[in-house]
A and B are shown apart, each in its own frame.
Chain A
Amino acid sequence: MKYILQRLAFYAVTAWAAITINFLIPRLMPGDPVEALMSRYQGQLDTTAIASLKALFGLDEHQSLWSQYTDYWSHLIDGDLGLSFTFFPTPVGEVISQSLPWTLALVGITTLISFLLGTGIGVYSGWRRGSWLDGLLPVTTFISAIPYFWLGLIAIALFAVKWQIFPAAGGYDNSLVPAFDWPFISSALYHGVLPGVTIVLSAIAGWILGMRNMMVTVSSEDYVMVAQAKGLSERRVMFSYAARNAVLPNISGFALSLGFIVGGTLLVEMVFSYPGIGYQLFQAVGAKDYPLMQGVFLIITLSVLAANLLADMAYALLDPRTRKEA
């Protein structure tokens, strides 16, 4: 319990630092993004919008840095991340909350699948070395060595253009209204197959390789030999003694990869024009949409931190040696 509180305190401090940096960076940037925007919108921005933009970017010279900082925090606590330029006048918070579920669903599920599948294959191929599973290893490593955008484009060229089995772009059929009903969900699943399969293919080799190598290392540990000598069933020796210890590094790797679900999917969503947060970020960069970029960065930072916290917790749960004595 003390351990968990310590970690929580540590992450609270880190989150504070990250948010503060997120606040400072636009204020350190040269030039005046608001001027650039005003010229882009050619006078379509009204004075209140300009004032709020200036306040957001710290261009409001009447305020001290400290009062800007406290304002920034009070806005943040209200969930106010400013207004997006690309989708003006939609608030950034709303843009993010619309795209975040897509990313979380697609990349979350595929990360989970590739972790479970890869670790499972790794356990078996590490335990029964020399079986046909070892032949799978070079194949998956080869696929993961292909740059992702190329893999995605090849998948589109083959399965969406040449054979037209799956749609090439989008998260759902545009003729449907997003709702929690079967036609919409099935359409979303159907659109998710191609990006999902390519993500799993490109990620699985790492899990297999990591797990297999750890299984090989752990299999030669004395306690595995003891378990064999005790006449325990092979299942128990393999899972409870060998895999249970071998999985620990993979667990922390998995928790960290959860943090990159939000941020690390730029390529996937660009290639498949998937309406997730990476695609949103891509558009924001193209349109110099600073508030949206800032909001997305904030979400990415916080999710990486949350994943780290999760990794710590999972490790403490699974490895008694990391638990500090109370």
Chain B
Amino acid sequence: MTAEPILTISGLNVDYGTGASGVRALRDIDLTLHRGEVLGLAGESGSGKSTLAYAVTRLLSPPGVITGGDVHYHRPGGESIDILSLTPDELRAFRWQELSIVFQGAMNSLNPVHTVHSQLTDVLTAHRPGMRAAERTARAEELLNLVGISADRLAAYPHQLSGGMRQRVMIAMALALEPEIVIMDEPTTALDVVMQRQILRKLVELRERLSFSVVFITHDISLLIEFSDRIAIMYGGRIVEQAGATEIYRDPRHPYSEGLLHSFPALHGPRRELTGIPGSPPHLSAMPTGCAFHPRCGKAFEPCPERVPVLAAPEAGQDREVACWLPH
């Protein structure tokens, strides 16, 4: 892919707590999001997917701290912004304007005591000071129509909406300022399967129309294979494999990716047997030495418990990366 990068993360480290009781949630994350692309981020619970999303937007709540690394946002003109060194005011202006988030808790993401109207327009008030009240309302109506909700629901309170409607309101809210990047943190996990499909279809349609870049976080890799251009797979706070969606699907190089793929039924294609991954994800405070996956890996051999494999292209010239000692 030759598209220019829009978000580059390099060497990002995040700890929860400091000193002896602190644990490292993200280790040396290098990741690039290109303009107009859908990047899928997959992994089990506790692998650091959401932590990565929060760290990039500096929304980590204590005791989470960013202990190292860089996050750069590249404006369409080419100007680059160091997100981690923005002042609080600059950060406020940056958030939602350039990068918005759809959070995983569709049920609790809306303020229960304010109407949909008030929550859709306050972001306009904050970022577009010159906008008049009537224009804000018109924009809010437009946004609701965009996600397929009739404009008369503007006066509704969150408890009067269904879960699917709430999540669509959140998506409408995320698009209010037409940001360049939208991070979706498991946007459909709280919803039933039919609603998941509808929301995803809506997202694909909106992305084609508005051409924003997406970081899509989920543990459902079959969803990603259908929906994303590129997939990064996380395990124990590291990215273990990164490749195009079809490549991951056809030819996963990391045993963990392979395990993930065999844990979900594919939505299309031939039937395969579901095997799952033996064992359970490691605890952050007791991370195995070497490759964190080796205790659960059926193919582990002598370097695995000793040394951490480096994320690199398995063969020179390939546009994919894997962190595994297995020869490919």
- Asked if A232 meets B126 with Cβ closer than 8 Å, knowing A241-B111, A244-B113, A321-B159, the reply is yes
Q: Are B109 and A231 in contact (CB under 8 A)?
A: no
Of B96, B97, B101, B108, which is within 8 A of A223 by CB? Answer: B108
Q: Are A227 and B111 in contact (CB under 8 A)?
A: yes
- Compute how far the CA of A232 lies from the CA of B120 in the bound complex, rounded to whole angstroms: 12
Which residues from chain B contact A227 at a C-beta distance below 8 Å? 111
Q: Are A231 and B111 in contact (CB under 8 A)?
A: no
- Compute how far the CA of A221 lies from the CA of B110 in the bound complex, rounded to whole angstroms: 10
Q: Are B123 and A223 in contact (CB under 8 A)?
A: no
Q: How many residues of A contact B (CB 8 A)?
A: 23
Of A228, A233, A236, A321, which is within 8 A of B112 by CB? Answer: A321
Of A225, A233, A318, which is within 8 A of B92 by CB? Answer: A233
Which residues from chain A contact B93 at a C-beta distance below 8 Å? 231
CB of B122 within 8 Å of the partner chain:
yes
Chain A interface main SS type = helix
Q: Are A230 and B96 in contact (CB under 8 A)?
A: yes
- Compute how far the CA of A232 lies from the CA of B21 in the bound complex, rounded to whole angstroms: 33
CB of A319 within 8 Å of the partner chain:
yes
- Asked if A231 meets B97 with Cβ closer than 8 Å, knowing A226-B103, A240-B122, the reply is yes
Q: Are A222 and B59 in contact (CB under 8 A)?
A: no
* Residue from A223, A230, A248 whose CB has the most chain B CB atoms within 10 Å: A230
Closest chain B residue, CB of each to CB of A223: B111
Q: Are A222 and B105 in contact (CB under 8 A)?
A: yes
- Compute how far the CA of A233 lies from the CA of B126 in the bound complex, rounded to whole angstroms: 7
Q: Are B113 and A229 in contact (CB under 8 A)?
A: no
Q: Are B59 and A225 in contact (CB under 8 A)?
A: yes
Q: Are A245 and B123 in contact (CB under 8 A)?
A: no
Q: Are B109 and A220 in contact (CB under 8 A)?
A: no
- Compute how far the CA of A321 lies from the CA of B112 in the bound complex, rounded to whole angstroms: 8
Q: Are B108 and A230 in contact (CB under 8 A)?
A: no
Interface residues as binary, A51-62 with B (CB distance below 8 Å gives 1, 0 otherwise): 000000000000
- Compute how far the CA of A248 lies from the CA of B61 in the bound complex, rounded to whole angstroms: 24
Interface residues as binary, A236-253 with B (CB distance below 8 Å gives 1, 0 otherwise): 100011001100100000
* B residues 22-54 touching A (CB-CB < 8 Å): none
* B residues 149-167 touching A (CB-CB < 8 Å): 157, 159
Which residues from chain B sit less than 8 Å from chain A, CB to CB? 57, 59, 61, 91-97, 100-101, 103, 105, 108-115, 122-123, 126-127, 157, 159, 170, 173
